[in-house]
Structure 1
Amino acid sequence: MDLDAVRTFVAAADAGQFQDAAAALSITQQAVSKRIAALEKDLEVRLFTRTARGAQLTIDGQAFLPHARELLRVEARADASVRPGRRALRVDVHSRRTAPGVLLQDFHRTHPRIELDVVTLDADVHAATAAVEAGTIDATFHAVTLPARQLPGAIRTARVIDEHHELLVGPRHALANARAVTPAQLAEHRIWMPGMAAGTEWAAYYDELAAAFGLTIDLVGPVFGNEALLAEIADSAELATLAGERTRYLWPDSYDLRRIPVRDPAPVYPMSLIWRDDNPHPALRKLRHHLSSRRVEAPGEKVWMPKWA
């Protein structure tokens, strides 16, 4: 199988547009079309359908995508096995919008000559740790719910982020004009967080937070993405959600959304960097030092953390 064609297929699936995939791969749009056509001929299936909005995966395309990603991961591991230290430092973040993504961007600005490959595995802490152990990635950011003695022998962790919460509400919400809110105040309001997967470390965190302060966290509803979530909250007098203080959101000015700090106590979501102790990548130590130097604890601040932190 032509791995360049597989790589082009994954880029097109991620971008949703052949033109954007071409830009990401530094090739022409015609080359993208030819590679995907050759792959479809080889597999004897259609992988994409063309629509007014771009290119959408067919059912066969959806089935092939995770295997295509695995082919590229295997290729990358094979390449790295004979060229140690030459590839980019590969770091996983669950979302580029959240605090780890912000800190990695800061690291890149501070060390522009270090080649950085930021990936999103969309995995919980167990799957991401397994990827670190296998060498698929060099490091990942997650809340670590297990004691160190229960982690794989080569795995090391260090807490590098204490992420405070903000309440996100629309202009008609009862708390819209508050300068800060307490967890006790939130107990009277519905916190909407649709699509949070059960069994993940973030679900465990919010379960414990809800139990500690009597919060109502509503997971009901289809997930249409952050843009749809923000639109619903902006138009509602009842809906609110929680976001990390460094999470980056963009919305139209007409939404007039408010980000209100949660304090007294301030719930904190603790995240750790996870890496292999025997990883020889020369940039990993610099990343660890950068993150430890950026971690700030406010003296005397009253905070709440889960019991496993």
Structure 2
Amino acid sequence: MDLDAVRTFVAAVAAGRFQDAAVDLSITQQAVSKRIAALEKTLGARLFTRTARGARLTAAGEAFLPHARELLSAEARALASVRTGPLRVDVIGRRLCPATLLREFHEAHPEIALEVVTLFDTAVAALRNASIDATFRALVEVPPDLDAQWVFDEPIELLCGPGHPLAGSASVTPAELAGHRLWLPGMVPGTEWGAYYAAFATAFGLSIDAAGPNFGTEVVLDTIAKSAEVATLLPTGARLRWPAEYDLRRVKLERPVPVYPHSLIWRRDNAHPALKALRTHLGRGTRAAEAWWPGQPSQTVPSTG
């Protein structure tokens, strides 16, 4: 089985659209389509139903997904058993803040071989079996075999269309979001980010709508641009683009400032020579003023995965 095709399938599921998967994988959309078609031919089953708004998994695609992720994990373990090569670091998404931090590290240290991967909820397990060297995650509790370094508090903000009641506000408090529809179709239960937003909603008495298939970020942006009722939440460092005519508004959340607490996590016995350079580069930041994060002031590594 072609593991590049499997990797493309998993990326397409995460992105919601073949176009977005192409951006994440740094290949063309045509290449994504060809890899998916080849994989479907190998499996003898259709994995996606293509629509104008994105790609939806078929029943066969849903059944294959956990096995696809395990195939990629097995590949990573196999490489780890013989490699002495690049520093392998996991990020939640390639358009989010940790990926930017890694790009800045690469620019500062071009001599260090670096490989960026996205393992989602299997990252902690990958640390333990040495298939990756480090991962960026929000902390809860550090197990004895792992170590961690808090890196950055990333503020969360409201994103809404020009007709939304809060569109003209320079800032609002989290409590003022009560009664407004917050749509986050990518808030998957059991994931780290799902747990974060669930805790945020509970803390401030909010209702977050995660219903509906996740067709990708562009569909969310298109929806809120046209709506006077629907808004979404996103981290300030997310690299998103939208047409100028959407006139979307970023509204700060303050008093308190909800932040996503990024930390670098690694296995305590990892002796990769580039890991120390990464840790030194990231350093230790300054806590955001009036910050809120789940479970503060306790800090822990997610136990799942």
Match of 2:91 among 86, 90, 93: 93
Partner of 1:305: 293
Match of 1:242 among 222, 233, 241: 233
**Residues 56 and 184 (structure 1 numbering): CA distance in 2 closer, same or farther, change over 3 Å?**
closer
Partner of 1:271: 262
- Superposed CA deviations along residues 90-143 of structure 1, whole A, max 9, x for unmatched, are 1111111211112111111111222221111121xxx32111111121111111
Do the aligned partners of 1:160 and 1:292 also contact (CA within 8 Å) in 2? yes
Partner of 1:284: 275
Match of 1:128 among 116, 123, 130: 123
Alignment of 1:174-253 (within 5 A): 174-253=165-244
Q: What is the CA-CA distance between 1:78 and the residue it aligns to? A: 3.4
Partner of 2:133: 138
Q: Does 1:104 align with 2:63?
A: no
How many residues are treated as equivalent by the alignment?
Answer: 282
**Residues 215 and 52 (structure 1 numbering): CA distance in 2 closer, same or farther, change over 3 Å?**
closer
Gap runs ≥5 in structure 2: 13-17, 300-305
Do the aligned partners of 2:126 and 2:132 also contact (CA within 8 Å) in 1? yes
TM-score by length of 2: 0.77
**Residues 221 and 72 (structure 1 numbering): CA distance in 2 closer, same or farther, change over 3 Å?**
closer
CA distance in 2: counterparts of 1:47 and 1:141, whole angstroms: 34
Partner of 1:10: 6
Task: Give the % identical residues.
Answer: 50
Greater RCO, 1 or 2 (C-alpha within 8 Å, sep 6+) = 2
CA distance in 2: counterparts of 1:137 and 1:253, whole angstroms: 39
SS at match of 2:242: coil
CA distance in 2: counterparts of 1:138 and 1:244, whole angstroms: 25
Q: What is the CA-CA distance between 1:306 and the residue it aligns to? A: 2.1
Q: Which structure has the larger Rg over C-alpha atoms?
A: 1
TM-score by length of 1: 0.77
